[in-house]
C-alpha cells in the first residue's frame, strides 16, 4: 500500500475533527470529500487490498440486514471482517468510514471487507473496485424521481455485478436478477437462492420485487427458503433442513437470512459450515419493524425506516398487530408524492400524527386508505415532543414510521447518535 | 363477472398490476372513497383480462407503467379495446394517466422504434427534448373543466401531440410539451399528473363522480369528513404553489 496517501489521510482526519466540532456526531461526508478530492485512488486502493477480498452487498432493499447477517456468519468462521456498519454507503461517507480505521499507510486491518452499497452510488464507484463476491438482493421500484424506473436499477446492479471476480449471488425469484445471473459467464460463478412455491403463496402481495420470476428455484440449483412462521424460518441447503431464528417477523427477513447464507458460502468456499453460519445469523439481535428500538425521554420507541415504495408496504404489513400509537413522518426526500400511493396502508388503522414536510401528502394517502388520522402537524419537532409526552400505550410500543429525511431530523431533534450517512 | 348492487357505482381500474408504477391505480380508490363519504356505495373492479370485466362501468381509470412493460400492457389492452371503445361512445368518464393515456392513443414514438396504440383517442406520444420530472401546475379551461388550478407531479420522457383540446395551460412544468397539458375529448381525460392527482385535486375527482352519478340518477351529499380531507389537499397544493412562487388558494 503506497505511503502517498498519508497526507490525504491526515487532512481527512483534520476535516473530520472540524466537522465534529461543528456538528457533534455528524458531518461525516466532509472528511471523505477532502480525501477523495486530493487522493482519488484512496478508496479503491484500500478496498482492493484485503487479503481475502471484497464482498459488495447491493440491491433495492434488505442490504443492511443481509450485510449484518453475512458479517456475523463470516466472523463465526473466524474471519476478521471490515464492514461499513454505519451504513456509510456513499463514496464520501465510505471513505470517511475507511479513514476511521486506516493506518497512515492506507491499509486497514482485516481479512475481508463486506460493504453495503446503494445501487446508484455503487454503480458510480464500482468501476475501480475488484470485488470477489457481489451479492444482489432484489430490484424494487426505488426512489422514483431519482432512478426513473426499475430497468435503470437493474442496469446499475448489472454494472456492479460485472466487476465480480469470483461469484455473483442472485435472488432467483427476482426476474431482473435471474436474467442477470444467466448472463454471467465462467470463470465467474453464480450462486442462486430462492423461496419455495409454498412460501410465495403465503405472501398474497408477493415479495415486493418489480418482476417476480414465473418459476421457483429447484433445490438442486441453490439454497431455498422452505418456511416462515413469525420469527422462525426453515432453509434447505444441499438437501438438509436448518431452522433459522429471525431478528423480526416477516418473509423479507427470512429472505435476507437466506441471502446471507448463500453469500457466506460463496465467500468462504470449502471452509463454509452451514450449521455455524445458521447459528450466527440466528444470533442477530431482534429488531422490530424495519428499524431499531430506542429508549428516549424515558419511553420505548420503535423506529421504522421506509426506504422505497415496496418497503413502505412491507413495513406496514409487518408492524406488530394492535400497535396503538403511531406517528408517520415523511420528509423532503420524498419529492414525488406518488411514492406513497402504491402502498395499502389500511392495516395501520389509526395514526395519531402525520408529520414531516410532506405531512399533508402522507395524511391524504392514509385517509383515503380509511386510516383515522388524528392530526396533521408538519412541524416534526413539535409532533415528536407531543407524541413522546403521551401516556404509555396499552398495547405495543410507540412507533414512528419515517422516511430517511425525517429519520435524520428525528435523531437530531432527540439528540440521538446520527447514522453517519445516507441510510438507503 | 362482478355484480354490484343496483345503486352502487362500479369503478373500473384497468391493468392495476402493470400500470401502477406511480400509484395511479389509487385513483380508483380515491373515487370510491369520495363516493362512499358522499353516501353513494362504490366498488372498485380491477380488470386485467376480459373475464374480469364487470357488467357495467360507471368510471374507468388507467395508470402509468414502465417502458419495459409498454408492449405487454398494449397487448393486454388489445382484447379490451372494443369494451373501452363502447365506454367512450356511451360517455363513461375515463381518466388515463401517463402510459395508460399514451397506449389508448395512436402510438408511442421511442428512440428508434414505435409502439402502436389502440387508436381510441386522437394524438400520439413523442419524445421530449429532456425528461420532465417536477411539480406541475395547470390552469384548466373555464368552459370545459371549471377554470381551476391542478397541482401534481410529472415524470415522463414523452410529450403528446395532436391534442384538439387540452385539459389546461401549463403554469409551471412541461406537460404535453407545447404549453398545454393533457387532453379532454368527450368523457375522456388524459393527463401526465401522476400518483395522487385525484386526491390532491378533488375537484377533478368530483367532476368524474358528478358525471357518473348524473348518468345513474344518484345524488352525492356533502360531508364534514370530505371537507376536512379536502382542506388537507388544499394545504398540499398550496405548499407546492408557494414553493414555486405562485399565489396560494
Ligand atoms: Zn437505494
Q: For residue range A114-151, list pLDDT tens digits in order.
A: 988 877 777 667 778 899 999 999 988 654 444 456 77
* Residue B58 exposed, middle or buried by CB count within 10 Å (0-12, 13-18, 19+): buried
pLDDT at B94 over 80: yes
Place of cell 419455495: A196
List the single best residue of A204, A212, A310, A337 to mutate versus B (max B Cβ within 10 A).
A337
In this complex, the residue of A309, A343, A376 whose CB is nearest that of residue B232 is: A376
Beta strands in A101-163 (DSSP E): 112-117, 133-136
Alpha-carbon distance B204 to B146, whole Å? Answer: 9
A151: contact with B, CB 8 A cutoff: yes
Show the domain range for B210: 8-243
Residue B47, domain member (yes or no)? yes
For residue B65, being part of any structural domain is answered with yes
Cell of A51: 487479503
The residue behind cell 396504440 is B117
- Asked whether residue B238 is domain-assigned, the answer is yes
Q: Are B29 and A368 in contact (CB under 8 A)?
A: yes
Output b/e per residue, A1-36; b: 16+ Cβ within 10 A. eeeebeebbebbbebbeebeeeeeebbbbbbbbbbb
The answer to whether the Cβ–Cβ distance between B196 and A365 falls below 8 Å is: yes
Average pLDDT over residues B228-236: 97
pLDDT at position A36 is: 59
Domain assignment present for residue B87? The answer is yes
Number of domains chain B is built from = 1
The alpha carbon of residue B198 is apart from the nearest alpha carbon of chain A, in Å, by: 11
| Mean pLDDT on B103-130 | 95
CATH class (in words) of the domain with range A290-413: alpha beta
Tell how far the Cα of A119 is from the centroid of ligand 1, in angstroms: 6
Determine the pLDDT at residue A31: 57
Task: Kindly list the domain boundaries of chain A, sorted by start residue.
Answer: 3-282, 290-413
Closest to B56 measured CA to CA, from B106, B1, B113: B1
- Contact between B232 and A360 using a beta-carbon 8 Å cutoff: yes
Q: Which helix (H) or strand (E) holds B158?
A: strand B149-161
Q: Distance (Å) from the C-alpha of residue A140 to the closest C-alpha of chain B?
A: 10
Q: Give the residue with greater pLDDT, B35 vs A294.
A: B35
Predicted confidence (pLDDT) per residue in B137-181, tens digit: 999 977 665 678 999 999 999 999 999 999 999 999 999 999 999
pLDDT band at A309 (very low <50, low <70, confident <90, very high): confident
| Distance, CA of A112 to CA of A129 (rounded, Å) | 14
End-to-end CA gap in chain A: 31
- Residue A420 pLDDT greater than 80, yes or no: no
pLDDT score recorded for residue A263: 98
Mean pLDDT of B101-108: 97
A422 has pLDDT over 60: no
Parallel, antiparallel or unpaired: strands B124-140 and B113-116: unpaired
The chain-wide mean pLDDT, for chain A, equals: 83
A:253-272 residues touching chain B, CB 8 A cutoff: none
Task: Give the number of other CB atoms < 10 A from CB of residue A96.
Answer: 30
Which of A97, A127, A140, A132 lies closest to A111, judged by CA?
Answer: A132
Facing B23 at nearest CB: one of A149, A342, A376 = A342
Domain of B70, CATH number, reads 3.40.50.880
Task: Give the pLDDT confidence score for residue A64 in this predicted structure.
Answer: 85
Residue B85 within any structural domain of the chain: yes
Q: How confident is the model at residue B1 (pLDDT cuts 50, 70, 90)?
A: very low
In a domain, B249, yes or no: no
Q: What is the pLDDT averaged over residues B193-205?
A: 96
Higher per-residue pLDDT: A109 or B225: B225
* Percent of chain A clearing pLDDT 90 (strictly above): 51
Cβ contact B26–A309 (<8 Å): no
Ligand 1 centroid to residue A424 C-alpha, Å: 5
- What is the DSSP code (8-state) at residue A271? G
All three cell numbers of A361: 401528502
Distance between Cα B84 and ligand 1 center (Å): 38
How high is the pLDDT of residue A102?
A: 67
8 Å CB contact of B233 and A360: yes
Confidence of residue A205 (pLDDT cuts 50, 70, 90): confident
- Name the DSSP letter for residue A174: B
**Mean pLDDT on B76-81:** 97
Is B2 within the bounds of a domain? no
Please report residues of A whose CB lies closer than 8 A to that of B21. Answer: 141, 144, 149, 342
Task: Give the separation between CA A193 and CA A195, rounded to whole angstroms.
Answer: 7
pLDDT at position A94 is 67
pLDDT digits (tens, 9 = 90+) for A33-44: 555 555 567 777
- Cell numbers for A64: 443492511
Asked whether the beta carbons of residue B195 and residue A368 sit closer than 8 angstroms, the reply is: no
Report the gap between the CA of B176 and the closest CA in chain A (Å): 19
For residue B123, pLDDT over 70 is answered with yes
Alpha carbon distance, N-terminus to C-terminus of chain B? 44
Torsion angle defined by CA atoms of residues B148, B239, B16 and B114, in that order, rounded to the nearest 10 degrees: 70
Q: How far is the CA of A66 from the centre of ligand 1 (A)?
A: 14
Mean pLDDT of B72-82: 96
* B33 lies within 8 A of chain A by CB: yes
pLDDT tens-digit readout, A318-337: 787 788 999 999 999 898 99
In chain B, what percentage of residues exceed pLDDT 90? 88
pLDDT recorded at residue A25:
43
Q: What is the pLDDT of residue A424?
A: 34
Contacts of residue B99, defined as CB under 8 A and 6 or more positions apart, other chains included, come to: B19, B63, B64, B65, B67, B70, B73
Cis-peptide into A324, omega within 30 deg: no
Q: Chain A contact for B128, CB < 8 A? A: no
**Which of A64-73, A280-289, A318-327 shows the highest mean pLDDT?**
A64-73
Of A94 and B178, the one with more pLDDT: B178
Q: What are the tens digits of pLDDT across the range A382-415?
A: 999 999 999 999 888 899 999 989 998 998 899 8
Distance B221 CA to ligand 1 centre (A): 45
In a domain, B248, yes or no: no
Residues of chain B contacting A343 with CB distance shorter than 8 Å:
23
Answer whether A204's CB lies under 8 Å from A173's CB: no
Whether residue B233 and residue A364 make contact (CB cut-off 8 A), yes or no, is yes
CA distance A193 to chain B (A): 25
Q: What are the tens digits of pLDDT across the range A18-61?
A: 555 544 444 455 555 555 555 567 777 778 888 899 999 999 88
Give the range with max mean pLDDT: A298-307, A311-320, B198-207.
B198-207
What is the pLDDT, as a whole number, of residue A313?
Answer: 84
Query: Average pLDDT of B117-143?
Result: 92
Residue A47 pLDDT: 81
Which 3 state secondary structure label does DSSP give B156?
strand
Measured in whole angstroms, the distance separating CA A256 from the mean position of its chain's CA atoms is: 10
Longest dimension (CA), chain B: 53
* Residues whose CB is less than 8 angstroms from the CB of residue A419 and which lie 6 or more positions away in sequence, other chains included: A86, A87, A407, A408, A411
Nearest-Cα distance to chain B for A78, in Å, is: 45
* Res A96 pLDDT > 90: no
CATH among 1.10.3330.10, 2.60.40.420, 3.40.1190.10, 2.60.40.10 for A3-282:
3.40.1190.10
- pLDDT value for B5: 60
Share of chain A above pLDDT 70, in %: 78
Amino acid at each position: 500500500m503506497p505511503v502517498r496517501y498519508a497526507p490525504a489521510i491526515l487532512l481527512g482526519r483534520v476535516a473530520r475533527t472540524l466537522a465534529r466540532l461543528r456538528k457533534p456526531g455528524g458531518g461525516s461526508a466532509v472528511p471523505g470529500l477532502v480525501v477523495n478530492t486530493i487522493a482519488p485512488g484512496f478508496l479503491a486502493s484500500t478496498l482492493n487490498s484485503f487479503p481475502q477480498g471484497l464482498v459488495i452487498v447491493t440491491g433495492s432493499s434488505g442490504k443492511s440486514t443481509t450485510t449484518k447477517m453475512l458479517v456475523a456468519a463470516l466472523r463465526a468462521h473466524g474471519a476478521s471482517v471490515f464492514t461499513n456498519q454505519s451504513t456509510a454507503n456513499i463514496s464520501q461517507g465510505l471513505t470517511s468510514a475507511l479513514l476511521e480505521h486506516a493506518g497512515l499507510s492506507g491499509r486497514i486491518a482485516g481479512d475481508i471487507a463486506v460493504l453495503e452499497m446503494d445501487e446508484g452510488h455503487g454503480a458510480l464507484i464500482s468501476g475501480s473496485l475488484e470485488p470477489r463476491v457481489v451479492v444482489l438482493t432484489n430490484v424494487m421500484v426505488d426512489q422514483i424521481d431519482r432512478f426513473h424506473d426499475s430497468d435503470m436499477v437493474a442496469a446499475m446492479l448489472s454494472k456492479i455485478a460485472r466487476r465480480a471476480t469470483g461469484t455473483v449471488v442472485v435472488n432467483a425469484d427476482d426476474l431482473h436478477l435471474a436474467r442477470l445471473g444467466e448472463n454471467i459467464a465462467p470463470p465467474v460463478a453464480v450462486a442462486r437462492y430462492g423461496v419455495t412455491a409454498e412460501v410465495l403463496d403465503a405472501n398474497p402481495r408477493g415479495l415486493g420485487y418489480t418482476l417476480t420470476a414465473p418459476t421457483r428455484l429447484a433445490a438442486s440449483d441453490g439454497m431455498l427458503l422452505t418456511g416462515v412462521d413469525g420469527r422462525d424460518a426453515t432453509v434447505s441447503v444441499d438437501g438438509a433442513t436448518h431452522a433459522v431464528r429471525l431478528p423480526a417477523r416477516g418473509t423479507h427477513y427470512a429472505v435476507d437470512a437466506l441471502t446471507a447464507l448463500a453469500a457466506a458460502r460463496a465467500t468462504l468456499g470449502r471452509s463454509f459450515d452451514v450449521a455455524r453460519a445458521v447459528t450466527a445469523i440466528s444470533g442477530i439481535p431482534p429488531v422490530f419493524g424495519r428499524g431499531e428500538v430506542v429508549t428516549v425521554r424515558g419511553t420505548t420507541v420503535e423506529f421504522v425506516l421506509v426506504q422505497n415504495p415496496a418497503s413502505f408496504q412491507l413495513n406496514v404489513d409487518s408492524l406488530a398487530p394492535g400497535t396503538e400509537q403511531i406517528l408517520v413522518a415523511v420528509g423532503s426526500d420524498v419529492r414525488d408524492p406518488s411514492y406513497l400511493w402504491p402502498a395499502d396502508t389500511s392495516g395501520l388503522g389509526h395514526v395519531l400524527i402525520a408529520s414531516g414536510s410532506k405531512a399533508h401528502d402522507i395524511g391524504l394517502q392514509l385517509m383515503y386508505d380509511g386510516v383515522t388520522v388524528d392530526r396533521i402537524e408538519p412541524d416534526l419537532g413539535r409532533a415528536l415532543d407531543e407524541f413522546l409526552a403521551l401516556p404509555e400505550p396499552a398495547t405495543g410500543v410507540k412507533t414512528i414510521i419515517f422516511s430517511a429525511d425525517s429519520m435524520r431530523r428525528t435523531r437530531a431533534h432527540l439528540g440521538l447518535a446520527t447514522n453517519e450517512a445516507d441510510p438507503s | 363477472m362482478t355484480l354490484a348492487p343496483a345503486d352502487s357505482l362500479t369503478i373500473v381500474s384497468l391493468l392495476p398490476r402493470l400500470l401502477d408504477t406511480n400509484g395511479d391505480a389509487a385513483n380508483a380508490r380515491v373515487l370510491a372513497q369520495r363516493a362512499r363519504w358522499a353516501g353513494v356505495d362504490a366498488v372498485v373492479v380491477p380488470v386485467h383480462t376480459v373475464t374480469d370485466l364487470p357488467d357495467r362501468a360507471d368510471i374507468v381509470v388507467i395508470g402509468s407503467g414502465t417502458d419495459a412493460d409498454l408492449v405487454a400492457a398494449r397487448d393486454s389492452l388489445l382484447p379490451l379495446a372494443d369494451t373501452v371503445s363502447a365506454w367512450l361512445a356511451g360517455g363513461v368518464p375515463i381518466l388515463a394517466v401517463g402510459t395508460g393515456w399514451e397506449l389508448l392513443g395512436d402510438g408511442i414514438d421511442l428512440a428508434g422504434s414505435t409502439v402502436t396504440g389502440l387508436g381510441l383517442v386522437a394524438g400520439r406520444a413523442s419524445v421530449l427534448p429532456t425528461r420532465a420530472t417536477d411539480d406541475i401546475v395547470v390552469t384548466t379551461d373555464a368552459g370545459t373543466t371549471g377554470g381551476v388550478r391542478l397541482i401534481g407531479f410529472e415524470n415522463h420522457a414523452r410529450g403528446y401531440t395532436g391534442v384538439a383540446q387540452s385539459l389546461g395551460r401549463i403554469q409551471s412544468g412541461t406537460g404535453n410539451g407545447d404549453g398545454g397539458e393533457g387532453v379532454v375529448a368527450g368523457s375522456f381525460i388524459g393527463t401526465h399528473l401522476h400518483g395522487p392527482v385525484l386526491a390532491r385535486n378533488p375537484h377533478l375527482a368530483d367532476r368524474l363522480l358528478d358525471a357518473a352519478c348524473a348518468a345513474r340518477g344518484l345524488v352525492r351529499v356533502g360531508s364534514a369528513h370530505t371537507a376536512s380531507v379536502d382542506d388537507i389537499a388544499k394545504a398540499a397544493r398550496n405548499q407546492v404553489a408557494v414553493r414555486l412562487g405562485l399565489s396560494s388558494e
